[in-house]
Structure 1
Amino acid sequence: MNENLIYNHIKKTLAEAPRNQYTAELHLQIIKYADGLKHITAKEFCEGVGLRQSFGTEFSKMRNLTQRLKAAGLNTDLL
């Protein structure tokens, strides 16, 4: 899946997320699409999804965490 499709899917999902679940949904979406976003910077991610730059830290943390989760058996295709 190309980056623009990923960005659009994340934007749509975040727009539909309950207000008190926004950050949790963002984390889940980053984990889900980490492989497709592994070559971009946190700044590029925030610009692509339309988020404040402060969410770049969340992007970096979740992308790094994804490697450990996958090593433990997580199948991101099931998210």
Structure 2
Amino acid sequence: MDDQTIFNKIREALERAPRNHYTLELHLQMLKYADDLNHITAKEFCEGVRIRESLGTEFSKMRNLTPRLKAAGLVTDLI
């Protein structure tokens, strides 16, 4: 799946998320697509998803956390 398709899917998920679950949904989407987006910067992620650049730190955290969660049994395809 190409980056733009992923960005669109993340934007759609964020639009559907209840207002008080926006950040939670953002984190889940970051975990879900971390492997597919491991070649982009946090800034590129924020630009692609059209979110505040300050959320790039969260993208970096989730991308770094993903291998540990997967080693513990997380299946990102099920998110």
TM-score, scaled relative to structure 2: 0.97
Q: Distance in 1 between matches of 2:66 and 2:76?
A: 9
Give the gaps of 5 or more residues in structure 1: none
Question: Matched residues, percent identical?
Answer: 70
Task: Identify the residue that residue 40 of structure 1 maps to in structure 2.
Answer: 40
- How many residues matched? 79
**RMSD of the alignment, in Å?**
0.5
Q: Distance in 1 between matches of 2:13 and 2:76?
A: 16
**1:12-50 C-alpha deviation (Å, 9 max, x unpaired):** 110111010000000000000111100000000000000
Q: Distance in 2 between matches of 1:20 and 1:38?
A: 28
Task: Identify the residue that residue 17 of structure 2 maps to in structure 1.
Answer: 17
**4+ runs deviating over 6 angstroms:** none
How far apart are 1:73 and its partner, in Å?
A: 1.1
